[in-house]
Amino acid sequence: MIIQTKGDVIKLRGALTENQWPAIKSAVSLLLDEHPGGVIIDANGLTDVTAAGAHTFLDASNFIQAQSARVIVCGLSDRILEEIRKIPGVRSQLVLAATVEEARASLAAGGTVTAAEVRTRPAVLVPLIGAWPHALGFAAAEAAARRAEVHLLYVLQVPRNLPIGAPMPEKEQDAQNTLTEAEKTLKRRGVTVRKRTTRARDVVEGAAKFATETKPELLVVAYRKEDMAMEGTRYAVVGPLCDDTPCNVAIYCVGD
């Protein structure tokens, strides 16, 4: 089998007759250093795969899960995919896309599983959840007072029957549209804005985890009073955001 790299893509060609993950892992690790947003494994050139070769994708799945890396496999034929899916564990973990274009669009939409970053200015984090348009004005005023940036966060909620890094074209497009809409509102106020995405099974828990990792100075969310009056909703929001994050939290309750 031949392994080639070009840009953010690793191309596999020929017959996969044994576990080639050690060789592929080296290429993946190098490309992730250059492309932290994610890497694509293009298997369109595979002509055959044996049971031993199929274990390559099990090890790839385990690596992706352990490293919280965005590595998307594309181009697998139905015949080869059927052979791979005979290996226990691959079905639920392997992140698949139909084409390189679909995989790259998913990576471009963001949604890293982890969110550590280097920052020189304080940040006011605004998760785009609940009644988020009402949180923008408050966040802009706080950012100006603190000489901070506003970080807009969209949490891509991934169903539990899919791998956390699975491409979701419609949801990813919704994320970009929502982030752009919020960005336009804030830029009219002269605020420096950064757009962020993350992936989680639950949107509030995802926002709390992102805040724990990135440590903003302030986290701002907005919810309607009628929603917060519901005991289950109030607990689901206040608990993770106030108890699990290291920053100050402002919850803006909207009347109408």
Q: Report pLDDT for 120.
A: 67
CATH of the domain at 235: 3.40.50.620
- Asked, for residue 115, whether it belongs to a domain, the answer is no
Query: CA 103, CA 32: separation in Å to the nearest integer?
Result: 15
Q: Report pLDDT for 254.
A: 87
**In a shared domain, residues 13 and 93:** yes
Total domain count for the chain? 2
* Single pTM value for the model: 0.74
**In a shared domain, residues 169 and 245:** yes
- Asked, for residue 168, whether it belongs to a domain, the answer is yes
**In a shared domain, residues 57 and 164:** no
Single residue among 49, 73, 108 that ends a domain in this structure: 108
- Asked, for residue 201, whether it belongs to a domain, the answer is yes
Q: Report pLDDT for 92.
A: 59
**In a shared domain, residues 103 and 185:** no
Mean pLDDT, the chain, whole residue set? 87
Q: Report pLDDT for 114.
A: 44
**In a shared domain, residues 17 and 98:** yes
pLDDT beneath 70, residues of the chain: 90-93, 110-120, 231-232, 256
- 219 near 152, Cβ under 8 Å? no
**In a shared domain, residues 92 and 142:** no
Q: Report pLDDT for 208.
A: 94
**In a shared domain, residues 175 and 231:** yes
Residues of the domain holding 78 = 2-108
**In a shared domain, residues 88 and 131:** no
**In a shared domain, residues 249 and 150:** yes
Nearest Cα to Cα of residue 217 among 126, 130, 156: 126
**In a shared domain, residues 127 and 249:** yes
**In a shared domain, residues 135 and 237:** yes
**Span 13-45, pLDDT tens digits:** 999 999 999 999 999 989 988 888 889 999 999
**In a shared domain, residues 203 and 142:** yes
CATH of the domain at 66: 3.30.750.24
Q: Report pLDDT for 23.
A: 92
Distance of CA 103 to the CA centre of its chain: 13
- Asked, for residue 16, whether it belongs to a domain, the answer is yes
Query: CA 49, CA 52: separation in Å to the nearest integer?
Result: 8
Q: Report pLDDT for 216.
A: 94
39 token code pair:
């890497």
